[in-house]
Chains A and B, each alone.
Chain A
C-alpha cells in the first residue's frame, strides 16, 4: 500500500504541479518586494495560457507561443503598473479587475477567433519540448525524477536561483527591496522608486505569462476557460509562506504540489476525496499560523528595540541639554 502512494511518480507529480505555481510566484514576489501585493496573477496566468496557445496555433511554433505569452504579460504588466503606480489606484481592486478582465477576454477571443466555446485543442498547436539531459540519463533515480521534463520546469529552476541572486546579491535587487521598504530613501539617492515598481510589475507580467504558457503548452496542449484554476492565488499563498524569498517560496510551492499529488494518490487507498482535497488547504492554515506567529515575534522584538532606541535618544537629548 505504501508502495502505491510513496513512489517516484508522486515526486514527479509534485514537480509538475509546483512549476506553474513557482513561475507565477516568482513574479508575484518581485512586486511584493517593491511593496505591491499583486492578486491579479490569476488573470495574468490565464492570459499567458491563452496567447501561448494562440501563438503556437497560428505559427505552428512553440517559440511564437512563448513570444505571444510574454508579450501579453508585458502589456498586462504595464496596465497593472499604470493603474497602481501612476494613477495610484487600489492594488486589490486593480488585481480583481485584471482577473475578471482576463476571464472575459479569453472567453470572448476563444469564441471570436477560434469559434469554439469552453475548450480549444488542435493538432496544429505545438507543445513545448521536453528536455533530455544526456548525462543524467545514466543515473537511475535522478533520470526519472529530473530528466525529460517540459522546458519551463528547468527554466523555473534557473529562475529561482537567478532571482535569488538578483534580489540579495546585486545593487538592483537592493533597489527593488528598498522601493518596497523605504521608497523615500531610494528617491533621495536619485533612483525613482516608481520606475522600480514599474519594472517589477512588468517582470511579474512576464513570469505569469511563463506560468500560463507552461500550463497550456507545456503541461497540456490545449486551452480551456478558467484553466488557471486558482493557481494565481495559491502562488500568492506560496509567496506569503516563503516571506517572498525565492528559495523559500519554491519550497512552499513544492509543499503545495506534494500535498496535491498525495491527495490524488490517497484516494486510491480508500480515503474519501472530500478529505484528500482538504490537504493542501489544511497545510496552508497550519503554515500560516506558523508564519503569523513568526511575524508577531519579529514585531515584538522590533518594538522592544524601538523602545530602547527611543530611550537612548532621549538620554542623548538630555545630555545635550
Chain B
C-alpha cells in the first residue's frame, strides 16, 4: 500500500515537473519571437546597455562610480539596462558577461579581471559593443577600452599629502615627513596608484618618505585598519588608500589615531569629513556616461583605447561639499591646482606602472 502511494506521488511530481517545464519553454519561445519583431515596428527604441561588474555595488568607490555614470545615462539619455554583479566570484565572470551580451546592444565591462573572458565572449557577439574599463585588450573590433591615468590623479594626492605633512600647525600633523598608503591587492592598477603617489610626494620634497602596505584584500576593513594603524605608528600622519571596502578600515584607523586619510575613486569625504581631508577622484562614471553618449550620437569609434587622465577630466582631487569644514589650507589647494596645470601642459611627466 505504502509503496503504491509513494510511486503515485513520485509520478505526480515528475508529471508536474514535466508540465511546468513545458510551460516555461513555451513562454520563452514566445518571448523570443516577440523581441526581434519590435525593432522593425519602432525605429527609436532606447539603447539597451548592460553593466557587468567583477565585484559588487556598495564599495563607495570604483564600482559605485561606474554605476553612477550608468544611472546618469539612464536619466539623461534614456537608455535601458540592468546591472550584473559578479561579487568577486571568477566562476561567474563568463556567465554574467554572456547573459549581458544576450540582451544588450552595448555592454559596459567593469574590472580588469575580465581580461581573458572578454576575449572569448566578444567574438561570439560581433553585434554588441563592449566598453571595457580599467584594462586594455587590443585587436578586437567590438571592444573599446577605457583606461585611466590614475598615476596623474595620485600624483596630485601625493603632492597634497607631502605638503600637508609639513603643516605642523594643523592638529594631528607630526614633525616627521612620512606619509602612507594602503593598497588593496598588489596589482598593476594599484601599483599605478602607488607610483603616482610616490612621485607626487617626491616632487614636493625629496625628503618625504612614502610607506606603502598592501592589505591583500579589497573586502576586509579590519585588515585595512590594522595596516593603517601600523603606518600611523610609524609616524605617518596622512594615509591614502586604494583598497575598496578595505579602505573603510583606514578611515576608522585615522579616527582612532587622530590623524588624516585621503579617499579614492569617488569623493569620499562625506564618510567622515573630520579625518578624510580630500579624495583622489577617478572619473569612472564620467567615462561611462560619455561613451554611452557617443554611441547614441553616432560619434563612437569602436575598437579604440580611450585614455582618461587629468586632461580628459578622468582624474581629479575632490575636497567634498562646501558645507564641510576644510582641513586642507587654501595655499595648498592653490599649489595643487598649479601642479595640475603643469601635468596638463605636459611640463610634468608622471611615471606610470601600467
> Taking beta carbons and an 8 Å cutoff, which residues of A are in contact with B?
4, 7, 9, 13, 16-17, 20, 110, 116-119, 121, 215, 219-222, 224-227, 229, 260-261, 264-265, 267-268, 272-274, 277
Could you list 9 examples of A-B contacts with CB < 8 Å?
Answer: A9-B229, A9-B233, A20-B222, A118-B60, A119-B60, A224-B221, A229-B222, A261-B226, A272-B186
Number of A-B contacts (CB under 8 A): 92
Size category of the B interface is: 20 to 34
B197 within 8 A of A: no
Evaluate contact between B248 and A224: CB separation under 8 angstroms. Answer: yes
A110 to chain B: closest residue by CB = B58
Evaluate contact between B230 and A265: CB separation under 8 angstroms. Answer: yes
Evaluate contact between B212 and A119: CB separation under 8 angstroms. Answer: no
A116-B58, A264-B230 given; 18 more Cβ-contact pairs under 8 Å: A9-B229, A9-B233, A13-B226, A117-B56, A118-B58, A118-B64, A119-B58, A119-B59, A121-B271, A224-B245, A226-B219, A227-B221, A229-B217, A261-B226, A261-B230, A267-B212, A268-B211, A272-B186
Task: Determine which residue in A9, A20, A265, A267 has the highest number of CB atoms from chain B within 10 A of its CB, and name it.
Answer: A267
Task: Determine which residue in A17, A116, A264 has the highest number of CB atoms from chain B within 10 A of its CB, and name it.
Answer: A264
Task: Determine which residue in B57, B216, B226 has the highest number of CB atoms from chain A within 10 A of its CB, and name it.
Answer: B226
List B212-249 residues whose CB lies under 8 Å from chain A: 212-214, 216-217, 219-223, 225-227, 229-230, 233-234, 245, 248-249
**B residues within 8 A CB of A264?**
213, 226-227, 230
Q: Kindly provide the distance from the CB of B142 to the nearest chain A CB, expressed in whole angstroms.
A: 30
A13 to chain B: closest residue by CB = B226
B252 within 8 A of A: yes
A266 to chain B: closest residue by CB = B213
Q: Kindly provide the distance from the CB of B231 to the nearest chain A CB, expressed in whole angstroms.
A: 8
**B residues within 8 A CB of A261?**
226, 230
**A residues within 8 A CB of B58?**
110, 116-119, 224-225
Evaluate contact between A229 and B214: CB separation under 8 angstroms. Answer: no
Evaluate contact between A4 and B234: CB separation under 8 angstroms. Answer: yes
Query: A9 vs B235: C-alpha distance in the bound complex, in angstroms?
Result: 13
**B residues within 8 A CB of A274?**
186
**A residues within 8 A CB of B234?**
4, 268
Evaluate contact between B245 and A225: CB separation under 8 angstroms. Answer: yes
Evaluate contact between B57 and A227: CB separation under 8 angstroms. Answer: no
